[in-house]
Amino acid sequence: MKGKLLILVALLLLLYSKGVAQERVSLTVEEAREYALEFNRTVQNAELSVLQSQEQLKEAIAAGLPQVNATTDYSNALGAEISIQFEEGLPPTKIPIKPSSNFNLQVGQLLFNANYFLGVQSAKLYRKLSERNQEKTELEVASQVLQSYYLVLVSEKSLDILKDNVKNLEEIYRKTKPMVDVGMMEEVELDQLSVQVNTLKNSVKSAERQLEMSLNMLRLQLGVSADTELELTDSLSGLLEENSLDRTMASSFDLATNIDYQLMKVQEEMSEKQVTMQKANYLPTLSGFYSYTYKLLKPAFDMSPPHIVGLQLNIPIFSSGERLSKLKQAKLSLETTQNNKAYLEDQLAIQFKQLQFNLKSARESYENQKMNIDVSREVYNSLKSKYEQGIISGLELTTADNNYLRAESDYLSAIFELLNAQNELNTLLGNINN
């Protein structure tokens, strides 16, 4: 019995461990972008906004289509009578008021209303604006995912370099201690190495925190849970493809393809439509209707016809300047939008030139740091060998180690800046999602 109980507990623990097992997701940079565009919450909200704008367009169209309403009523005078005096001196004739009940069916149709047609056009523009906002959101999220992906790769590489450096110095420390014990080296040499090892261990912990922060940021942008384990399968060297950089630097800027400019164009169209709508307020509105009434309970006297057809024309005559004021406001709003559009054109042109310069500068910095890291590595390895032979002091070795780590850090920073500069230029050009 006890054995069966132990087996049952083991099975339950196994099932529980499977239930709480972390999800593991392996992603290339392209897969990360696609994953975010499907599961990112901000992108999903942008898609919902487009669906909402489509329903608003349907609502605007439905307002000008036939409207059918039905009503029914019942009235009871509670025994009241109508008293009619036919001749003076004779008692009045009393007619009881019978209960009455009606069923009424009304059909209305808007025949002419300029604001209706303009309202439908405005709803279409709003849908277009929502679609452009969705494209902008997808572009921004894709750009953010790429930046976070690069940051994780750089953080991982930096952590690996620090860990390798700690192992190397710990190995040197172990080799140096016997030499100090026999008096071949001074105690201060060992102390300097100990300080450097402890400093690097603290740097490793800091790098681990930086890596976890980068991963959490990427998890949030991808739309995965905090417990999801991410594995990035692309490498920094693979992302630094020369042809890709050359293609980005040689790209030309077409203002019409920029998503911010497209949004501004739609806003300008909407402002123009507002001006037209205010002008349309001076036009009349014509509607027609048909009414059918069926007497469920007929009164004693019934002179109303069951079928009625009619037209209603509403002509605006005088509004004490309200319509004119609204028209002037719409025109001023349009002029403001046009000024913003002209300013955006200048801003985007300057931004393109600046981002091109940034990419060129980042590439030059990367090439310089790439040469520096090779020289620093050779110098460090040479001094490390001399230290092991007792030719140089521990202070010189730790100085060389610090210089090598600084060169590694500068090299990784140059890679990150180069990838980010390329990402920013591609974002402006709208090439990220292609």
CA dist 222 to 94, 146, 379, 423, Å? 84, 11, 42, 18
Please give the model's pTM, rounded to 2 decimal places: 0.82
Arithmetic mean of pLDDT, 106-115? 92
Output the pLDDT for position 124.
Answer: 94
Give the C-alpha separation, 335 to 238, whole Å: 49
Output the pLDDT for position 17.
Answer: 42
Output the pLDDT for position 6.
Answer: 43
Query: What is the per-residue pLDDT across 215-266, written as a single tens digit (0 to 9) for each?
Result: 999 999 999 999 999 999 998 888 887 778 888 888 899 999 999 999 999 9
Give the C-alpha separation, 403 to 410, whole Å: 10
19 pLDDT more than 60: no
Output the pLDDT for position 13.
Answer: 42
Q: Give yes or no for a contact between 387 and 396, defined as CB atoms under 8 angstroms apart.
A: yes
18 pLDDT more than 50: no
pLDDT band at 16; cut points 50, 70, 90: very low
Q: How many helices (H) and strands (E) does the chain have?
A: 10, 8
Range from 18-27, 175-184, 271-280, 361-370 carrying the lowest mean pLDDT:
18-27
More confident of the two residues 174 and 52: 52
Range from 133-142, 149-158, 160-169, 412-421 carrying the lowest mean pLDDT:
160-169
296 pLDDT more than 60: yes
Q: Which long-range contacts (CB under 8 A, 24 or more apart) does 111-117 make?
A: 111/286, 111/287, 111/288, 111/311, 112/284, 112/285, 112/286, 113/64, 113/285, 113/286, 113/287, 114/280, 114/283, 115/277, 115/280, 115/281, 116/63, 116/64, 117/64
Q: Which long-range contacts (CB under 8 A, 24 or more apart) does 60-64 make?
A: 60/119, 60/120, 60/122, 60/123, 61/120, 61/123, 63/110, 63/116, 63/119, 64/110, 64/113, 64/116, 64/117, 64/120
Q: Give yes or no for a contact between 408 and 379, defined as CB atoms under 8 angstroms apart.
A: no
Contacts of 11 (CB under 8 A, 6+ apart): none
More confident of the two residues 276 and 81: 276
pLDDT band at 95; cut points 50, 70, 90: confident
pLDDT band at 9; cut points 50, 70, 90: very low
84 pLDDT more than 80: no
Arithmetic mean of pLDDT, 127-149? 95
Complete domains list, the chain, with CATH: 30-66+113-285+323-429 (1.20.1600.10)
Going by C-alpha positions, the residue among 393, 370, 374 that lies closest to residue 383 is 393
93 pLDDT more than 90: no
More confident of the two residues 315 and 85: 315
Arithmetic mean of pLDDT, 292-318? 86
> 307-314 and 285-297 as β-strands: parallel, antiparallel, unpaired?
antiparallel
Query: What is the per-residue pLDDT across 32-76, written as a single tens digit (0 to 9) for each?
Result: 999 999 999 999 999 999 999 999 999 999 999 999 999 999 988
pLDDT band at 5; cut points 50, 70, 90: very low
Give the C-alpha separation, 96 to 79, whole Å: 7
- Partnered with residue 72 across adjacent β-strands are 103
